[in-house]
């Protein structure tokens, strides 16, 4: 467990670790008393999308770099912070996908951020001396 009530996991930036990360999210939420399976699943999905983006884009698929996942529950808000030292990313440059378009007309990509914003209450990016920080929150009961 990390300081200040944070639970922490550090893994290599490798897509083979996505299952480990998903298990960490679910186990931490349950350990903190979250029983809403839908909230757990949606948080896992958002974190999986975010971690995949970090691994593929910020680290350009280089598995040697570290990714830190920190989780905390405050009242009814579960917070997940993802910290990496990869290439900074400005999410405002991504054009939201056209979810009304037919499957044939839809462009590939851009759905990760859409899913994160749909599944979580807040999604915030920051660039600090520690690296890139993506913070997402989920309201839980």
| Cα three-residue angle 38-18-56, rounded to 5 degrees | 115
pLDDT per residue over 36-76, tens digit each? 999 999 999 999 999 998 998 888 877 668 999 999 999 99
pLDDT above 90 as % of the chain: 59
Q: What is the Cα–Cα distance from 99 to 9, expressed in whole angstroms?
A: 34
Q: Which CATH architecture has domain 3-139?
A: 2-Layer Sandwich (3.30)
- Which range (60-64, 75-79, 123-127) has the least confidence? 60-64
Whether the Cβ atoms of residue 29 and residue 72 lie closer than 8 Å to each other = no
- Tell me how far CA of residue 89 lies from CA of 63, 67, 102, 108, in angstroms: 18, 15, 29, 19
The two beta strands, 66-74 and 131-139, are unpaired
What are the residue ranges spanned by the domains of the chain? Answer: 3-139
Q: Can you give the pLDDT at residue 109?
A: 56
The two beta strands, 7-12 and 131-139, are unpaired
Q: Assign 50 to helix, strand or coil.
A: helix
Whether the Cβ atoms of residue 114 and residue 101 lie closer than 8 Å to each other = no
pTM: 0.85
Whether the Cβ atoms of residue 137 and residue 78 lie closer than 8 Å to each other = yes
């Amino acid at each position: 467990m990390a300081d200040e009530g944070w639970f922490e996991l550090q893994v290599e930036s490798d897509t083979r670790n996505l299952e480990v990360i998903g298990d960490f999210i679910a186990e931490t939420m349950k350990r903190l008393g979250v029983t809403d399976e839908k909230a757990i699943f949606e948080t896992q999905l958002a974190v999986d999308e975010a971690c995949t983006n970090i691994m593929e884009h910020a680290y350009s698929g280089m598995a040697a770099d570290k990714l830190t996942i920190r989780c905390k529950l405050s009242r009814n808000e579960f917070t997940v912070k993802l910290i990496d030292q990869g290439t900074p990313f400005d999410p405002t440059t991504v054009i939201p996908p056209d979810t009304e378009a037919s499957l044939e007309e839809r462009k590939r990509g851009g759905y990760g951020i859409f899913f994160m914003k749909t599944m979580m209450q807040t999604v915030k990016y920051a660039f600090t001396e520690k690296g890139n920080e993506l913070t997402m929150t989920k309201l839980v009961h």
